[in-house]
Structure 1
Amino acid sequence: MEKAFSLLVFIILFIMLASVENKVKANTCMEGLGNCQQCSERCKAKHGPQGEGSCDIKNQLCTCYYPCGSPSGPQPKKCYGGAGLCGGNCGPPCCNQKCAQKYNQGTGFCDSIGHTSLCKCEYPC
Structure 2
Amino acid sequence: MTNQMSTSFNFFAILVLVVAGQLIQVEGECTIIVGSCAKIDCATHCQAYGKGVAVLGSSCSFYNLCTCSYDQPPPALSSPTGHCDIGMGICTDDCLSDCCNKKCVSRYSKTGAGVCVNAFHMLFCICNYLR
Q: TM-score range by the shorter chain?
A: 0.5 to 0.7
Task: Name structure 1 gaps, 5 residues minimum.
Answer: 32-41, 54-63
Q: Deviations over 1:71-115 (max 9, x none)?
A: xxxx46333222111123221121112112121142111122222
Is 1:103 matched with 2:118? no
Distance 1:20 1:91, change over 3 A: closer
Give the AA of the match of 1:79. Answer: C
In the superposition, the TM-score normalised over structure 2's length comes to 0.53
Equivalent residue, structure 1, for 2:14: 13
Pair member with larger Rg: 2
Q: Partner of 1:67: helix, strand, or coil? A: coil
Alignment gaps of 5+ in structure 2: 32-42, 58-68
What's the offset of the Cα at 1:119? 0.6
Check 1:78–1:8 CA distance in 2 against 1; reply closer, same or farther (3 A cut): farther
- Give percent identity, aligned residues only: 24
TM-score by length of 1: 0.55
Q: d(CA) in 2 for partners of 1:97 and 1:106?
A: 9
Q: Does the aligned pair in 2 maintain the 1:81–1:120 contact within 8 Å? A: yes
SS at match of 1:89: coil
What's the C-alpha RMSD, in Å, of the aligned pairs? 3.6
Distance in 2 (alpha carbons) for counterparts of 1:79 and 1:95: 16
Report the count of equivalent residues. 99
Structure with the bigger RCO (C-alpha within 8 Å, sep 6+) is 2
